[in-house]
């Protein structure tokens, strides 16, 4: 698709929208015709072309197939979704996308392991708390960005991921029981992936160094690891060797205190049974 012309200074979302319009006009279709043939709402397609909305990955896959564009739109979508994330987190996402090893400790269900409905529930709550204008559309864009990150779980080769969840993450349910049950079931499903190790840190482990923040350690194919520390809505990317090493040692202590992957799976299964009873 070499005909798509770059435009200096435009946002990635605008570039995606411009490309969508280019492909539609090249195919000789009106928005009404495209809507009828793809079953997507005409106004929704219009807003995608105007760069006013960010779709889900599946929409771009459908339109790539419709236009015979290979994976052009999916690739542009991957870049566009980064724009809805703040700078520090955006830098983290870029590292996450190419990481070979990811170790994380989370006080909540990690974004990369969230179902779409659970993510929507959590992000809706954050949006209300921050009094964000036009919350509905912003939440949908954040959900699309968060769920889209999960494609790296199925990448070949997939990164090696170890996620340690504080017990509280598995006891703080959301109001909708089905959404919460589906989230617990999804964690069990992800734990079956050969590249994913899931552990639970029980309350009985007592106090530890990571009680006040989430931590992710990332290793690329080459170079030193980096740490991403997040708490109270603020994230910091750290690459100073001594600080990263200190976080690595804290992580090792938490991992040693956590339940084994097998014990953790049993713990989550029990939580799921309690939720469904």
For residue range 139-177, what is the model confidence (pLDDT) as tens digits? 888 898 888 888 899 888 999 999 999 999 999 999 999
Which part of the chain is CATH 1.10.260.40? Answer: 12-82
Q: How far apart are CA 161 and CA 13, in angstroms?
A: 30
Tokens 């929208």 label which residue?
A: 17
103: β partners? 162, 217
Residue 95 has pLDDT above 70, yes or no: yes
Where along the chain do the CATH 3.30.870 domains lie?
85-276
CB 170 within 8 A of CB 265: no
Give 200's strand partners. Answer: 165
- Give yes or no for a contact between 156 and 247, defined as CB atoms under 8 angstroms apart: no
Q: Which of 1.10.357, 1.10.287, 3.30.870, 1.10.150 would CATH assign to domain 85-276?
A: 3.30.870
pTM for the complete prediction? 0.70
Q: CATH code for 12-82?
A: 1.10.260.40
């Amino acid at each position: 698709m070499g005909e798509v012309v770059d435009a200096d200074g435009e946002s990635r979302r605008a570039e995606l929208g411009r490309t969508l319009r280019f492909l539609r006009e090249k195919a000789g279709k009106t928005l009404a015709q495209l809507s009828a043939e793809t079953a997507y709402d005409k106004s929704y397609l219009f807003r995608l072309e105007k760069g006013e909305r960010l779709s889900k990955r599946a929409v771009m896959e459908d339109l790539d197939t419709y236009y015979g564009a290979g994976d052009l739109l999916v690739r542009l979508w991957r870049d566009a979704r980064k724009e809805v994330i703040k700078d520090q987190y955006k830098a983290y996402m870029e590292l996450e996308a190419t990481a070979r090893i990811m170790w994380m400790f989370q006080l909540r269900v990690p974004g990369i392991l969230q179902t779409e409905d659970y993510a929507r529930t959590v992000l809706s709550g954050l949006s209300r708390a921050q009094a964000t204008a036009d919350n509905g559309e912003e939440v949908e864009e954040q959900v699309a960005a968060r769920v889209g990150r999960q494609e790296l779980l199925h990448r070949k080769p997939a990164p090696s991921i170890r996620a340690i969840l504080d017990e509280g993450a598995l006891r703080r349910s959301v109001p909708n029981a089905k959404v919460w049950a589906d989230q617990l079931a999804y964690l069990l499903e992800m734990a079956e992936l050969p590249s994913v190790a899931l552990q639970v840190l029980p309350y009985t482990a007592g106090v530890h160094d990571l009680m006040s923040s989430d931590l992710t350690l990332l290793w690329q194919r080459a170079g030193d690891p980096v740490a991403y520390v997040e708490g109270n809505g603020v994230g910091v990317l750290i690459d100073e060797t001594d600080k990263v090493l200190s976080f690595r040692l804290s992580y090792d202590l938490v991992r040693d205190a956590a339940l084994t992957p097998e014990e953790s799976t049993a713990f989550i299964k029990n939580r799921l049974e309690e939720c469904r009873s």
